[in-house]
């Protein structure tokens, strides 16, 4: 039925890989101001590509709070068809630690059926897959079967600080029936699944200070506080021996899945020990829950960085006067981000003893957990497209990670989000040697063509009951 | 009586300061291989200066284990007088954190009656004070009142790994009646005191590993171990709520001072709160002991550095797979270094849970605590010299810091050590903005001239009962 499109995609494969290579070459690390030029490079590349494909109205959307702008483009010629806001993000995680990469992080390299580069799986590859399906449509048929608005964010990896303003200030421009997201990876390579929800997140940094300067460990040792001992005590006290977070109120209001959904979860074939062993880790988490429940239905509090004192070669006999920690949390349905933030900060403050100065800094965006409605028409279209393309009915799963967009869009635009990414969760996101399976490119482009068709056959009215604004 | 010498010292003051400036300019950081050139610079400077003063037999003594050599020189023309091995060290601590220095660390700067530079107080200033007294003697009188051998070590700040071999291999060359040390700072600016002992030390680094790589905190968070959580638990568990070290056997065999010495200690005027407040800290330590006891008579275990995960700008949502800590201990009389090392490592190993990989590295030199015999003739000479020069009988005190030399020399050469340094313990050793009081230069040179005279009036036989080899 779509052999004309598939032919175009096959004959354009080497150009596709070349475009992907150039996009990955842009060092678009959003968290570190040193990479500002790489962020600009990524926006310039996307602008040129979208313009060449036939998208119009291309512009940068700035939240007005000094952050990285998002890129917008549209193609709105499918009269009577639904309108989808297609989402992706062009920013990536920092490449550190650099010495662990087998090839330079910003140069795409193919090895053993995989493409390696920072951001190839999260989220540059999946974005380019979605765009390639649309490019083929526009090239071969001169139009898309649905109306498409594209929003490519530049701050997904830093908690989306500008996104609330971008959505608020451009509510009319971004109005759509639903969000179809090219972000939010597939769970496993061996199981066809569709994501129906994600955890929320938030975080901050805090510092402890015990003296005006580092002190000589002989001349002061044993008689004054050591900032690292104090930090260790605070961090250690945040979890109990059952690996439960000790913050009072942390688990208040959590909505656990209904019994049928929980039974479905326990029916999913999953070998936790093998899953953890695949990255050299062991299973460890909150007592009383399975690994899947810990990942999907239970919240976490994780220290992402902790440091103080001397880290150089050899030894330095100091009592460090300062210690620092970066903390993030993953939240589940029912948890209120602001309440969690305040409770965790209050608990840390209560753990810090007299004589130790506590400072909180670097509050990052706080996002609620999200769940897509069980009978949402876009979820139906996604399930049909995956069944047809991959020959297997997808299992409904959640992800432990966060799509800040889902929660924000629900709040600001009143619409729902379905994730339709073709990266896979084991592809070393946020770590050295991030990769994308080459097979995902074919599967993904075919599935995107199929879902565009499926949505094109839906009446926009189907979406009305789910639109809250 | 010594007006000829004092005249020479006064007229040579500006040359003295210039020599000190050049010596401080040598970036002789022993712990970091990046400073190898600075270590060579310091040895070259000292060689030239000692040669010019009239010392002979100048050579580098290498322990044969690849470390930094010590510098040796001698002046042995005082027939019938005792022979002193004068000790100092030419290596210094790293200057980090650089941004806390008010002036460049390796450029001497005078401000408000103080000289600032890395190593000026520990131990380059005190060494140059001792040498200046000898220079004046040699310049004005053509000889010294005692026989002097000089040993300037290059690894004091890294636990003296080569020193045991240097002493063993050169026992005849270094043979002396006692050690007169230009290292081991005065306790306070407002109290004339003599140090009669020091704590021992030792340390190592250890690492925890929980996975092959950093993991995405959404995709793995809550279900695998976090190396920083594990490290915090281990570090926090090393002390109990009474700030006692929890390692089994850590306090075994400790010899506390006799009641008379303890009464003397309690009689010393000391305001612990003001002492700690002077560096912006509070008093905190082992329950049941005063601050002076904690510093002089009780052992410690301190974390000097702890790190893992992301430390850059912004946030990075990783579960860190590695955590590191540097630990040093200060030991008191009765503690056996090797037993302590083994006990601490065994305790850490017992604290690490299954699924976490533990590695020990960077074992540093282990040194016992040291006490100078109560009636040692060199201690008598030092007390007399301080009484005469400063007009006040010195109080006997200990120091919490470590002179690896005292323990090693006692073991290898069978002789005792008396500390005769003119730095003061509040001069920001091992920290930014290290300084030396200008007044210490005059006091120190006069006292060194006086002690050389006092020893010159002693018969070498006085030392025989204290020599163990």
Tens of pLDDT, residues B375-412 = 999 999 999 999 999 999 999 999 898 877 888 899 99
CA B180-B182-B184 angle, 5° bins: 105
- My answer on whether B230 and B345 are in the same domain is yes
Out of A226, A313, A326, closest to residue B32 by CB: A313
- Chain-chain contact of B222 with A298 (C-beta, under 8 angstroms): yes
- My answer on whether A146 and A238 are in the same domain is no
Q: Give yes or no for a contact between A204 and A368, defined as CB atoms under 8 angstroms apart.
A: no
Q: Helix, strand or coil for residue A436?
A: strand
Residue B288 lies inside a defined structural domain of this protein: no
Out of A199, A221, A285, closest to residue B223 by CB: A285
* Cα gap B249→B256, rounded to integer Å: 16
Preceding omega of B296 cis (within 30 degrees of 0): no
**Phi, psi for A286 (deg, rounded to 5):** -60, 125
At B314 the pLDDT is 84
Number of A/B CB contacts below 8 angstroms equals 374
- Chain-chain contact of A400 with B222 (C-beta, under 8 angstroms): yes
CATH classification of the domain holding B401: 3.40.630.10
Q: Give yes or no for a contact between A331 and A341, defined as CB atoms under 8 angstroms apart.
A: no
Q: Which of B314, B362, B405, B406 to mutate to test the interface with A (most CBs of A within 10 A)?
A: B314
B111: exposed, middle or buried (C-beta count within 10 Å: 0-12, 13-18, 19+)?
exposed
User: Mind telling me how many Å the CA of A137 is from chain B's nearest CA?
Assistant: 34
Q: Tokens for B255, please give them.
A: 């010899």
The β-bridge partners of A306 are A325, B308
Out of A100, A203, A225, closest to residue B213 by CB: A100
Using a CB-CB cut-off of 8 Å, the residues of chain B touching A210 are: 281-282
- Chain-chain contact of A222 with B300 (C-beta, under 8 angstroms): yes
Using a CB-CB cut-off of 8 Å, the residues of chain A touching B33 are: 313
Using a CB-CB cut-off of 8 Å, the residues of chain A touching B425 are: 216, 219
CATH classification of the domain holding A207: 3.30.70.360
Out of A32, A225, A354, closest to residue B313 by CB: A32
Out of A32, A228, A400, closest to residue B221 by CB: A400
Residue A268 lies inside a defined structural domain of this protein: no
- My answer on whether A10 and A71 are in the same domain is yes
- My answer on whether B138 and B63 are in the same domain is yes
Residue closest to A424 by CA, chosen among A268, A192, A255: A192
Out of A221, A231, A306, closest to residue B400 by CB: A221
Domain termination site, one of A367, A397, A424: A367
- My answer on whether A176 and A234 are in the same domain is no
- My answer on whether A82 and A140 are in the same domain is yes
Q: What is the ipTM of this complex?
A: 0.80
Residue B432 lies inside a defined structural domain of this protein: yes
* Cα gap B180→B385, rounded to integer Å: 13
- Chain-chain contact of A306 with B304 (C-beta, under 8 angstroms): no
Using a CB-CB cut-off of 8 Å, the residues of chain A touching B398 are: none
Q: Which residue of chain B comes nearest to A31, CA vs CA?
A: B314
- My answer on whether B340 and B388 are in the same domain is no
Q: Which residue of chain A comes nearest to B276, CA vs CA?
A: A224
Residues of chain A with pLDDT under 50: none
Residue B289 lies inside a defined structural domain of this protein: no
Domain termination site, one of A367, A401, A423: A367
The β-bridge partners of B417 are B179
Residue A260 lies inside a defined structural domain of this protein: no
- My answer on whether B225 and B313 are in the same domain is yes
**Phi, psi for B107 (deg, rounded to 5):** -120, 120
Place of tokens 């994501």: A195
Could you give the number of structural domains in chain A? 2
Using a CB-CB cut-off of 8 Å, the residues of chain A touching B276 are: 223-224
Q: Which residue of chain B comes nearest to A33, CA vs CA?
A: B313
Q: Give yes or no for a contact between B129 and B182, defined as CB atoms under 8 angstroms apart.
A: yes
- Chain-chain contact of A285 with B235 (C-beta, under 8 angstroms): no
Q: Give yes or no for a contact between B1 and B113, defined as CB atoms under 8 angstroms apart.
A: no
Q: Which residue of chain A comes nearest to B96, CA vs CA?
A: A310
Residue A158 lies inside a defined structural domain of this protein: yes
- Chain-chain contact of A309 with B306 (C-beta, under 8 angstroms): yes
Using a CB-CB cut-off of 8 Å, the residues of chain A touching B370 are: none
- Chain-chain contact of B31 with A315 (C-beta, under 8 angstroms): yes
Residues of chain B with pLDDT under 70: 1
Using a CB-CB cut-off of 8 Å, the residues of chain A touching B279 are: 211-213, 215, 220, 224
Using a CB-CB cut-off of 8 Å, the residues of chain B touching A306 are: 228, 231-232, 306-309, 323
- My answer on whether B59 and B139 are in the same domain is yes
- My answer on whether A455 and A395 are in the same domain is yes
Using a CB-CB cut-off of 8 Å, the residues of chain A touching B228 are: 235, 303-306, 325
Q: Give yes or no for a contact between B324 and B308, defined as CB atoms under 8 angstroms apart.
A: yes
- Chain-chain contact of A312 with B31 (C-beta, under 8 angstroms): yes
For residue A167, the enclosing domain spans: 3-198+369-466
- Chain-chain contact of A32 with B314 (C-beta, under 8 angstroms): yes
Q: Strand locations in A105-155, DSSP E?
A: 109-111, 114-116, 147-153
Domain termination site, one of A351, A367, A383: A367
Distances (CA, A) of B309 to A349, B226, B306, B320: 23, 10, 11, 5
Q: Give yes or no for a contact between B125 and B1, defined as CB atoms under 8 angstroms apart.
A: no
- My answer on whether B396 and B453 are in the same domain is yes
At A237 the pLDDT is 98
A80: exposed, middle or buried (C-beta count within 10 Å: 0-12, 13-18, 19+)?
exposed
- My answer on whether B87 and B177 are in the same domain is yes
The β-bridge partners of A301 are A329
Residue A404 lies inside a defined structural domain of this protein: yes
* Cα gap B369→B300, rounded to integer Å: 12
At B1 the pLDDT is 66
Q: Give yes or no for a contact between A311 and A179, defined as CB atoms under 8 angstroms apart.
A: no
Q: Tokens for A194, please give them.
A: 């569709």
* Cα gap B238→A229, rounded to integer Å: 9
At A1 the pLDDT is 66
Q: What is the pLDDT of residues B260-284, one digit of tens each?
A: 889 999 999 999 999 999 999 999 9
- Chain-chain contact of B326 with A320 (C-beta, under 8 angstroms): no
Place of tokens 């040699």: B138
In sequence order, the 6+-apart residues with CB closer than 8 A to the CB of A40 are none
Residue A266 lies inside a defined structural domain of this protein: no
Using a CB-CB cut-off of 8 Å, the residues of chain B touching A313 are: 31-34
Out of A226, A306, A316, closest to residue B430 by CB: A316
At A430 the pLDDT is 84
Out of A203, A228, A354, closest to residue B315 by CB: A203
Using a CB-CB cut-off of 8 Å, the residues of chain A touching B211 are: 279-281
Q: Give yes or no for a contact between A399 and A426, defined as CB atoms under 8 angstroms apart.
A: no
* Cα gap B265→B288, rounded to integer Å: 15
């Amino acid at each position: 039925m779509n052999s004309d499109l598939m032919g175009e995609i096959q004959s354009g494969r080497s150009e596709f890989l070349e475009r992907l290579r150039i996009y990955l070459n842009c060092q678009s690390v959003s968290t570190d101001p040193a990479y500002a030029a790489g962020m600009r490079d990524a926006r310039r590349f996307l602008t040129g590509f979208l313009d060449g494909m036939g998208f119009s109205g291309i512009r940068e959307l700035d939240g007005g709070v000094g952050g990285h702008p998002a890129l917008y483009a549209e193609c709105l010629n499918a009269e009577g068809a639904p309108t989808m806001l297609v989402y992706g993000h062009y920013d990536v995680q920092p490449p550190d630690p650099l010495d662990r990469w087998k090839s330079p992080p910003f140069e795409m390299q193919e090895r053993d059926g995989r493409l390696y580069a920072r951001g190839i799986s999260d989220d540059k590859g999946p974005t380019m897959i979605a765009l390639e399906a649309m490019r083929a449509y526009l090239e071969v048929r001169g139009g898309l079967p649905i109306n498409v608005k594209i929003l490519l964010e530049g701050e997904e990896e830093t908690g989306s600080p500008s996104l609330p303003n971008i959505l608020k200030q451009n509510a009319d421009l971004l109005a759509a029936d639903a969000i179809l997201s090219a972000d939010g990876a597939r769970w496993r390579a061996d199981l066809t699944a569709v994501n129906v929800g994600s955890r929320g997140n938030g975080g901050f940094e805090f510092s402890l200070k015990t003296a005006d300067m580092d002190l000589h460990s002989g001349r002061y040792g044993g008689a004054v506080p050591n900032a690292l001992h104090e930090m260790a005590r605070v961090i250690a006290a945040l979890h109990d021996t059952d690996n439960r977070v000790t913050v009072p109120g942390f688990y208040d209001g959590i909505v656990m899945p209904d019994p049928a959904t929980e039974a479905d979860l326990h029916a999913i074939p999953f070998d936790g020990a093998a899953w953890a062993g695949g990255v050299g880790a062991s299973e460890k988490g909150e007592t009383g829950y399975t690994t899947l429940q810990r990942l999907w239905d239970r919240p976490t509090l994780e220290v992402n960085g902790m440091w103080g004192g001397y880290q150089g070669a050899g030894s330095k006999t100091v009592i460090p006067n300062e210690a620092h920690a970066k903390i993030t949390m993953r939240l589940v349905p029912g948890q209120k981000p602001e309440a969690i933030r305040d409770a965790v900060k209050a608990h840390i403050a209560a753990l810090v003893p007299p004589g130790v100065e506590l400072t909180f800094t670097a509050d990052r965006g706080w996002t609620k957990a999200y769940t897509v409605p069980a009978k949402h028409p876009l979820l139906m279209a996604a399930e049909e497209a995956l069944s047809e393309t991959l020959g297997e009915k997808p299992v409904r799963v959640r992800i432990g990670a966060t799509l800040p967009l889902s929660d924000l869009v629900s709040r600001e635009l009143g619409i729902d989000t379905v994730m339709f990414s073709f990266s896979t969760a084991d592809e070393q996101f946020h770590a050295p040697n991030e990769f994308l399976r080459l097979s995902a490119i074919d599967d993904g482009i075919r599935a995107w063509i199929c879902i565009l068709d499926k949505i094109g056959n839906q009446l926009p009215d189907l979406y009305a009951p789910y639109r809250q604004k």
